[in-house]
Chain A
Amino acid sequence: MIRYSLKRLLSLVLSLAIASVVIFAVIEVAPGDPASFMLGVNAQEDTLAALRAELGLDVSKAHRYLAWVTGMLSGDFGTSYTYRTPVAEMISDRLWVSLPLALFALALSTLIAFPAGIYAAARRGKAGDMAVMGATQLGVAIPNFWFAMMLVLIFAINLRWFGAGGFAGWDDGLWVGLHSLTLPAIALALPQAAILARVMRSALLDILGEDFMRTARAKGLSRRQALWRHGVRNAMIPVLTIIGLQFSFLLAGSIIIEQVFYLPGLGRLVFQAISSRDLIVVESVVMLLVFAVITVNFLVDLAYALVDPRLRSRT
């Protein structure tokens, strides 16, 4: 297990290193010089040079890459070109919206998908199964931002149960914050719940045909007991993979949903940064998202190995 973990850890570090090079290289291709963009076309040459020095743009690319990476490792993401404030601060402020939103959506998606998937598998081929499968077919076809607009129309504008947008913050308590994230989280969770329910159902159906399930029934467990004690537990491996993948999709997907609800999260930050050519912010947010994806996948790999010892020897 230790050897397996170390090998995975090495590949994690390598992936992160390559990803950082790719992101840095792509942003470096960007035409134009941030300093002249900030100061306008009429800027004096010496003012430009001074600003370049201040932003750390006057050294070689390799130097800048190293400064960026070592900075990030110590929590220093550089200074925003537009706002002149530390990028790390801007990101951590926004993470307090995006991260809870993604986690809230993940929780909702799991809460919907598990019962739906288990119910459908237990009633394979019957009306209940058909209904769940039909609903999931629709669920994966609905764009989440459109669904978000419909939720606003129904629950914010017509019924007035929720606000149509904006974020109340966490200062007034957990409940107030969660309340303003409820509609966005539902919108974000719906397509993921549909996918997860399908995976849950098919993983369970695969397992229901296994010999150990027959043994479980033969030793006197009822269908329901066998399903819960042996079926659901063994179906967790594919389900865990999808949950891991979904977290990163939810974090990236929250970027779009934030636009619908005018939430001050990472999405708003990155779009403002794109329009003001604040490339250091774009670079850092993208790196953070990719870091999240790679790390979550690493954790899922480790979780597998814990759940299923057979996998440790395979790689």
Chain B
Amino acid sequence: MSRNLVLGGLLSSLVALAALVSFVWTPFDYAAIDIPNKLKTPTGEHWLGTDHFGRDMMSMLMVGARTSLAVALVAVGIGMGLGVPLGLTAAARKGSWLDEVIMRGNDLVFAFPSLVIAILITAVFGAGAVNAIIAIGIFNIPVFARITRGAALSLWEREFILAARVAGKSSARISAEHILPNVMNLLIVQGTIQFSLGILAEAGLSYVGLGAQPPTPSWGRMLADAQTMVSFAPHLALIPGFAIILTVLGLNLMGDGLRDWLDPRLRVART
């Protein structure tokens, strides 16, 4: 295992652990307002200080991790759940009208950045964490469809697939039984990368008010609240910012490490 994988895995597990622990324990009630203790810098009692309402930053950060991870994880699920079957189908029917329709459809969805999808959805249904999930999820679909199709196409040329065809298996069965397991590594690596992009996208969306709504804490909203106070209470902006950076960095390092670990052939110059 590479250094990247270990370091990335540690960082990511730490964040995941904080999110999980927050279900049963946080240092304080994340929503408890305590005006006399507002804007405290880190102390023995409040490890990461308090915000302008005297709420404990550590507790908000832990509960916020839940929002970030949940949104990004479900969005990856949507992207994989729809994108992978589309990619497999397109590859199995390479050159057919179905392939063409799927791939052109992908190009079209690709033309809508997740922020633009979020704007559209919010304009129609109002803001909320679910809309953020849908927006990021839709954006993920063509990413997984493309990568699956690309990898599957080269597999379809291989002899073991020919053998499966000779054995009388249908394209759908071959896709599920032979192609999918062979593209799984690639999908896991891409999933990690999309997961980290999802964390960034969620933070951005909730920062501009298109994501999780009060009272649900989220890292992006903590930053939006901090913005007007950054001159006299910079810790309000620094702490959630570092949380996002460490999480994304951890996931990216883990993605790099996983790629090397799962597929030694990919140990080439990374982009």
A residues apposed to B, CB below 8 Å: 11, 14-15, 18-19, 22-23, 26-27, 29-31, 124, 137-138, 140-146, 149-150, 152-153, 157, 198-199, 201-202, 205-206, 248-249, 252-253, 255-256, 259-260, 267, 270-271, 273-274, 277, 279, 282, 285-286, 289-290, 293-294, 297
What separation, in Å, do the CA atoms of A253 and B245 have in the docked complex?
Answer: 18
What separation, in Å, do the CA atoms of A199 and B200 have in the docked complex?
Answer: 20
Contacting residues of chain B (164-208) with chain A, CB-CB under 8 angstroms: 196, 200, 203-204, 207-208
* Secondary structure of the B contact surface, majority rule: helix
- Residue of B111, B122, B204, B226 with highest tally of chain A CB at under 10 A: B111
> Does A198 lie within 8 Å of B271, measured CB to CB?
yes
What separation, in Å, do the CA atoms of A142 and B240 have in the docked complex?
Answer: 11
- Chain B 246-265 interface 0/1 with A at a Cβ cutoff of 8 Å (1 = within): 10110011000000000000
Other-chain residue from B113, B204, B208, B271 in contact with A271 (beta carbon distance below 8 A) = B208
What separation, in Å, do the CA atoms of A128 and B122 have in the docked complex?
Answer: 45
What separation, in Å, do the CA atoms of A19 and B111 have in the docked complex?
Answer: 9
Given contacts A149-B237, A289-B116, contact A143 B203 (CB under 8 A): yes
> Does A157 lie within 8 Å of B230, measured CB to CB?
yes
> Does A206 lie within 8 Å of B111, measured CB to CB?
no
Given contacts A141-B252, A206-B269, contact A255 B208 (CB under 8 A): yes
> Does A290 lie within 8 Å of B116, measured CB to CB?
yes
Count of B interface residues, CB-CB < 8 Å: 42
Q: Which residue of B lies closest to A26 (CB)?
A: B120
Cβ of A150: which chain B residues have Cβ within 8 Å of it?
Answer: 237, 241
What separation, in Å, do the CA atoms of A149 and B228 have in the docked complex?
Answer: 10
Given contacts A138-B249, A157-B231, A260-B227, contact A290 B119 (CB under 8 A): no
Shortest C-beta distance, B269 to chain A (Å), equals 4
> Does B104 lie within 8 Å of A252, measured CB to CB?
no
Other-chain residue from A22, A153, A205, A270 in contact with B119 (beta carbon distance below 8 A) = A270
Other-chain residue from A30, A124, A198, A270 in contact with B124 (beta carbon distance below 8 A) = A30
Shortest C-beta distance, B247 to chain A (Å), equals 8
Other-chain residue from B115, B230, B244 in contact with A252 (beta carbon distance below 8 A) = B115
> Does B252 lie within 8 Å of A274, measured CB to CB?
no
What separation, in Å, do the CA atoms of A31 and B125 have in the docked complex?
Answer: 8
Given contacts A149-B230, A199-B271, contact A143 B120 (CB under 8 A): no
What separation, in Å, do the CA atoms of A255 and B207 have in the docked complex?
Answer: 11
Cβ of A23: which chain B residues have Cβ within 8 Å of it?
Answer: 120
> Does B270 lie within 8 Å of A248, measured CB to CB?
no
What separation, in Å, do the CA atoms of A19 and B240 have in the docked complex?
Answer: 36
What 7 pairs between A and B have smallest CB-CB spacing? Answer: A141-B248, A205-B269, A252-B113, A146-B241, A141-B249, A202-B269, A30-B124
Cβ of B123: which chain A residues have Cβ within 8 Å of it?
Answer: 27, 30, 273-274, 277, 279, 282
> Does A259 lie within 8 Å of B237, measured CB to CB?
no
> Does B115 lie within 8 Å of A294, measured CB to CB?
no
> Does B108 lie within 8 Å of A18, measured CB to CB?
yes
What separation, in Å, do the CA atoms of A256 and B116 have in the docked complex?
Answer: 11
